[in-house]
Structure 1
Amino acid sequence: MRLKDYAERDGKRVWLSEKELQRLIDAAADDAEQRAAFLLMGRCGLRRQEVVDVTPADLVTTEHGRVVRVWEGKNDDYREVFAPAELTDVVLGMDRAPDAALVDVADSTLYDWVQRARERCHAATGDAGWLEVGPHDLRRSWGVRLLEAGVLPSVVLELGGWNDWQTFRDHYLAEFSPEALRRERGKVSWLGGTQEASASQHSYAAVGGRPHHE
């Protein structure tokens, strides 16, 4: 977990590792609607208002796989986002009408759901950093998870609805992701590391990093 102060307000930005992100999703209440909400935030990178706008009809199969259609994102922009198989399974189990909201609550309710889930994570781990996690940190962590998985930065920008790399870098990237720090620590012998330093190992999460476009 990485935390960093907001420059313009109180509180902290949080970047969750893959295991931490999954822990938070699993800490959601045992309820299909909440599970769908956490998957849309943490595995599809949707904003709060986008989450409550999604219907079963918005989950479609394309030539490259299953996606969620976001009809009116920020600035009313349309985009399509990769959807995990688990989301499809959850949606099918909900038996909602095609045009009914999957998450039929006010978007502010997502704050309450994340707060309860983070408190469960805090109780289980004792890590006070969990108490800083908010809904937008799931989206933030999702974007970095894609980069760590090797997805082209230009594709990440498209999926997340970010207009430019500068905005994404300034507001969503930490100095380094948790995985990048773990890799680098593994190169240091007195910290228990066994890896040999390799010039090929790098992270797009470094401040000042620039995307490579193909």
Structure 2
Amino acid sequence: MRTERNKDGSFNVWMSRDEYQHLPRAASSWDREIAIRLMGDCGLRVAEVLDVCPAHVSRMSDGTHHSLEVVGGKDTSGEYQEGKHRETWVPVELERTINRYMQHEGITHDEPIIDRSKRTLQYWVEQAAEQAAEDTGDDDYLRVSTHDLRRCWANHLLVEEGISPRIVMALGGWSSYDAIEPYLAAPTEENIINSMTKVAL
């Protein structure tokens, strides 16, 4: 895990995928796990998580995978008054967890899956991070914020998986390459080791 201190004293945390996985596993309930995974597995901003309803999850044309319609997403271009709509990828396991939770809690297709406040979601991430720090002995988890989950998702796709920046921009709702360039330019320690061990120096 790599951390960077910002000018305001806050930190940016760069996690590998394995390091990130400790967070949803540390969640103490289904709704907390789903909220964390919507940010860390789907690239949602914390405010966008609160708008997700079961009706926004739909099966893709291959009949196997699912997408999530993000309604009222942040518009960085200033073009859309009521927010920018996009579709992002939903891992199969997360779709199943959402479906089980929806049935267990009696949530209808048009009701929010996570009916909480932004501060509550931030608190859930803080609690999961505290548990992950205890489980792993790595105190860097204590610096993890909700935005670090989105950062981890973008960095994983761009750097670890080599997904096209244009695809990541579309999935994450970024309107310019400049907005995602920091995620592209920040390789994980594992990525550096794997790349540099192939170089004869």
1:143 aligns with 2:154: yes
Q: Deviation per CA, 1:36-78, whole angstroms, max 9, x where unpaired?
A: 1111011001001100110000000122531010011002010
Change in CA separation of 1:174 and 1:23 when aligned onto 2, cut-off 3 Å? farther
- Paired with 2:185 and 2:141, the residues of 1 have a C-alpha distance of 17
Q: Is structure 2 residue 86 aligned with structure 1 residue 86?
A: no
Alignment of 1:106-145 (within 5 A): 106-145=117-156
After superposition, give the CA deviation of every residue in 1:13-45 in whole Å (9 maximum; x if it has no partner): 01110111111111111x221121111011001
Secondary structure class of the residue paired with 2:118: coil
Is 2:155–2:187's contact at 8 Å kept on the other side of the alignment? no
User: Do structure 1's residue 43 and structure 2's residue 41 form an aligned pair?
Assistant: yes
- Contact 1:4-1:174 at 8 Å conserved across structures: no
For 1:93 and 1:62, locate their aligned partners in 2 and report how far apart those are by CA, in whole Å: 19
Counterpart contact for 2:125–2:146, Cα < 8 Å? yes
Q: How does 1:1-214 map to 2 (within 5 A)?
A: 1-7=1-7, 9-29=8-28, 31-63=29-61, 65-75=65-75, 76-94=83-101, 95=103, 96-147=107-158, 148-170=160-182, 172-173=183-184, 175-184=186-195, 187=197, 196-197=198-199
TM-score, normalised by the number of residues in structure 1: 0.82
Q: Which runs of 5+ in 1 are unaligned?
A: 188-195, 199-214
Q: Percent identity?
A: 35
Q: What's the counterpart of residue 79 of structure 2?
A: none
How many angstroms does 1:164 deviate by?
A: 1.3
Shift of 1:151: 1.2
1: CA distance, partners of 2:145 / 2:184:
16
Compute the RMSD of aligned alpha carbons.
1.6
Counterpart Cα distance in 1 of 2:155 and 2:135: 25
Question: What is the CA distance between 1:182 and its match in structure 2?
Answer: 2.9
Q: What's the CA shift for 1:163?
A: 1.4
Distance 2:195 2:141 in 1: 24
Cα distance in 2, alignment partners of residues 112 and 174 from structure 1: 29
CA drift of 1:126 comes to 2.0
How many residues are paired up? 186
Report the secondary structure of 1:70's partner residue: strand
Q: State the one-letter code of the partner of 2:14.
A: W
Q: Shift in Å at residue 181 of structure 1?
A: 2.1
For structure 2, the 5+ residue unaligned runs are 76-82
